[in-house]
Amino acid sequence: MKIPLLNNLDLAQMAGQVASAPGFPHFHINNFLETSFANEIHDAFPSFAEAAKMGKLFSAVNEKRKIQVTDSSKFPSPIYRLHQLLASDAFVGAMSEMMAIPGLIADPALNGGGIHETNSGGHLDVHVDFNYNEELKLYRRVNILIYFNKDWRAEYGGYLDLWDKNVENCLGVFAPAFNSAVGFATSEISWHGVTPVTCPVEKMRKSFAVYYYTKEPPPDWDGIKHSTLFKARPSEHWKGKVAMPAEQLVRSAKNSVHSAKQAVKKFLKDMS
């Protein structure tokens, strides 16, 4: 199948790769975009400092030194064209066929997606993603991640790792290599993360992420909506036993304070 700016997709071959993938449906594609277009995107990526002014910087235990830019009005032109390509009817239809999920829908607001940049010292712990988009009233079903890192070395880390449902066995590890893409079905068992990034500060780990949804819940939907859920890797004993529980306590306390403030505001408003 030929889609402008994209290298040819053999949908039957990709569907077979997805169906036979271990653990949960996923795929890996090299030379995803036309090379000239991929180079334009690579050259258009903002520096870490520039991206920090455009988006959100994460500095929590589970997600550190990562910047996320979701506002497409701030994208340089080549990256905006990538956004349009991945949201196009032709590509979304191809994703539906590859993943065997009818009726996929793109998110124009790129909630949680868009430009992702992680600098040296950053990481993203193993997690499953939020499963429902409250703004769109849609169910999250598929992720695709495209990488724009040239001459990326193994010692730089930043690999995407996929895990089994109990986060005991690694299903696959993928380098964030230039013009490669990884996609997978998001579910309650699609555990994945990014290993610690140790590249030179000026290098950065650069990617673009898009998530797709459906109007109907997945077949195994249990009716429980949740935000991102994290787990420690088997080797991360201290993080699993101490750091993550502490982070969760702090987060719960902040949520409780926020809820209390909202309740007081509502009460005062009702009394006025």
92 — pLDDT class (breaks 50, 70, 90): very high
63 pLDDT above the threshold of 80:
yes
Beta pairing, strands 181-185 & 138-147: antiparallel
What DSSP string describes 46-112?
PPHHHHHHHSEEEESSSEEEEEEE--GGGS-HHHHHHHHHHHSHHHHHHHHHHHT-TT-EE-TT-TT
Percent of the chain with pLDDT over 90: 81
Which pLDDT score, from 0 to 100, does residue 260 have? 47
The residue type found at 154 is: A
Q: For residue 251, which phi and psi values (nearest 5 degrees)?
A: -65, -40
The pTM of this model reads: 0.88
The tens digit of pLDDT for each residue in 2-52 reads: 899 999 989 999 999 999 999 999 999 999 999 999 999 999 999 999 999
Burial code (b: 16+ CB inside 10 Å, e: under 16) for 194-233 equals bbbbebeeebbbbbbbbbbbbeeebeeeeeeeeeeebbbb
- Asked whether 197 and 156 are in contact (CB, 8 A), the reply is yes
The owner of tokens 């009702």 is 270
Which pLDDT score, from 0 to 100, does residue 202 have? 86
CA distances from 76 to 68, 124, 180 (A): 15, 25, 20
The tens digit of pLDDT for each residue in 104-138 reads: 999 999 999 999 999 999 999 999 999 999 999 99
Average pLDDT of every residue of the chain: 90
- Asked whether 6 and 40 are in contact (CB, 8 A), the reply is no
The residue type found at 56 is: K
Q: Which two tokens stand for residue 139?
A: 């169910």
84 pLDDT above the threshold of 50:
yes
Which pLDDT score, from 0 to 100, does residue 1 have? 76
Which pLDDT score, from 0 to 100, does residue 235 have? 87
Most distant CA atoms of the chain, gap in Å: 64
- Asked whether 196 and 218 are in contact (CB, 8 A), the reply is no
User: Which whole number is the average pLDDT over 179-205?
Assistant: 96
